[in-house]
Amino acid sequence: MAEVELRRISKMYEQQKVVNEVSAVIEPGEFFVLVGPSGCGKSTTLRMIAGLEEISGGDLLIGGKQMNHTPPSGRNISMVFQNYALYPHLTVKENILFGLQVRKVNKQEQIKRLNQVAEMLGIAHLLQRKPRELSGGQRQRVALGRAIVSQHPICLMDEPLSNLDAKLRGHMRTEIRRLQQELGITMIYVTHDQVEAMTMGDRMMVLRDGEVQQVGRPLDVYNHPANLFVAEFTGAPPMNTVQAVWRNNGDRSGVELTDQGSTTFLPLGSFAGIKEGAHVVLGVRPEALQPVEEGQKAPGSGALAIKVQGVEILGSETIVEFTVSGKLWKAKWNGQWTCKRGDILHVGFHAEQARLFDGNTGKNLANVAVQEKGEIRECVQ
């Protein structure tokens, strides 16, 4: 296995920089996910690693060796594309073995690898079929099989599940992750789906407009987003946010919300370095907003009186929509709740579940230690 290191790599198209000094160290055997909205530069970054795009600036190292000008065939990697890139005139067997035949691998070794992969992926009964006779999920397995038989230590995947239906995507997420762990290969995976990134990756890199927003373990990124973009990008539903004003009053410090001339104060405790009257953005995850009885104070914070705008009952959970200072918020509750549009409810959250962001830069302001269960925990920037 080999380490992959990106040292401030960039990509220019004429005068436009689409990837701007991206840096990361991807450990051997790691499942590393590049995630972000369309056009953020994640596929371009992957193609630079593969050697399919020229690197405009910076260095790419694989196994400690610079690979900027090494052709794809010399990088010891395999790749699975979004459209699977199967040869339509070849059978499944011929598609899987094509790369081994080009490399003139011993025929007995070819058959041995083919049988192992076909059994592993459950496609042994499809070996004589052509791609047009396969479903989307079967084609995806064939493309994956072709990458696995190469036995390259690094596998790149560019949104391989985007053409599948929701149920099959869920199944294939589990299968790809299992195969990666069993084979011990380094996987670099591109997706626009933050659910895939959260459930599959050992670590994830969030990109926006060609620039790195945050790199870290999925739960660290989710619990401690570096900025407002990451906070609103991750989560299903994503984090609720609203403009607010910070009020300093010792332990009773918190945010002031304004809605149609009336104000609501929510105590959040002490945050060092935030000036009185500073414009901030309050962020709260939907699952942190829980129902409370009228007049009952939420633990560590005040309660919000809300007017239900919409309800989605999903079987095991219920999504309740309402507005806070003109912004649509969502609360996610376990079970089936029978509330309806127009109902007046009260919701609250623990103060430590709130996130504060700079109103101008969007940077996470949670840079102070908070007291939780008798221990000091540092919030991650």
Q: What would the mean pLDDT of 354-363 be, rounded to a whole number? A: 93
Tokens coding 371: 């007291």
**Average pLDDT, integer, range 214-235:** 95
- The mean pLDDT of 45-63, rounded to a whole number, is 95
User: What pLDDT is recorded for position 294?
Assistant: 65
Mean pLDDT to the nearest integer, 346-357 = 90
Picking from 5, 16, 59, 66, the residue whose alpha carbon sits closest to that of residue 41 is: 16
Residue 368 has pLDDT above 60, yes or no: no
Confidence check: pLDDT of 379 > 50? no
Tell me if residue 133 falls in helix, strand or coil: helix
372 class by beta-carbon count within 10 Å (0-12 exposed, 13-18 middle, 19+ buried):
exposed
Confidence of residue 375 (pLDDT cuts 50, 70, 90): very low
Q: What is the pLDDT of residues 287-328, one digit of tens each?
A: 999 998 766 655 556 678 899 999 999 989 999 999 999 899
Check whether 349 has a pLDDT greater than 70. Answer: yes
- pLDDT exceeds 90 at position 36: yes
Q: How many angstroms separate the first and last alpha carbons of the chain?
A: 31
Grade residue 372 by pLDDT with cuts at 50, 70 and 90. Answer: very low
The two three-digit tokens of residue 215, written as one number: 């790199």
Average pLDDT (199-212) is 96
Of residues 124 and 374, the one with the higher pLDDT is 124
> Per-residue confidence at 377, pLDDT binned at 50, 70, 90?
very low
Concatenated DSSP letters of 156-193: EEESTTTTS-HHHHHHHHHHHHHHHHHHT-EEEEEES-
Sorted by where each begins, the domain ranges of the chain are: 4-230, 237-378
Region of 139 (left: φ > 0; alpha: ψ -120 to 50; beta: rest) is alpha
Q: Output phi, psi for 354, to 5 deg.
A: -80, 150
Q: 260 pLDDT band (50/70/90 cuts)?
A: confident
Separation between Cα atoms, residue 23 and residue 242, nearest integer Å: 32
Selection from 307, 322, 303 nearest residue 265 by Cα: 303
Write down the pLDDT at residue 190. Answer: 96
Query: Looking at residues 226-239, what average pLDDT do you find?
Result: 94
**154 vs 80: CA distance, rounded Å:** 11
Lowest mean pLDDT among 41-45, 157-161, 310-314: 157-161
- Which CATH code for domain 237-378? 2.40.50.140
Is residue 102 over pLDDT 70?
Answer: yes
For 4-230, CATH number?
Answer: 3.40.50.300
CB atoms within 10 A of CB 249: 11
pLDDT at residue 301, rounded to an integer: 62
User: For a pLDDT cut of 70, what percent of the chain falls above it?
Assistant: 93
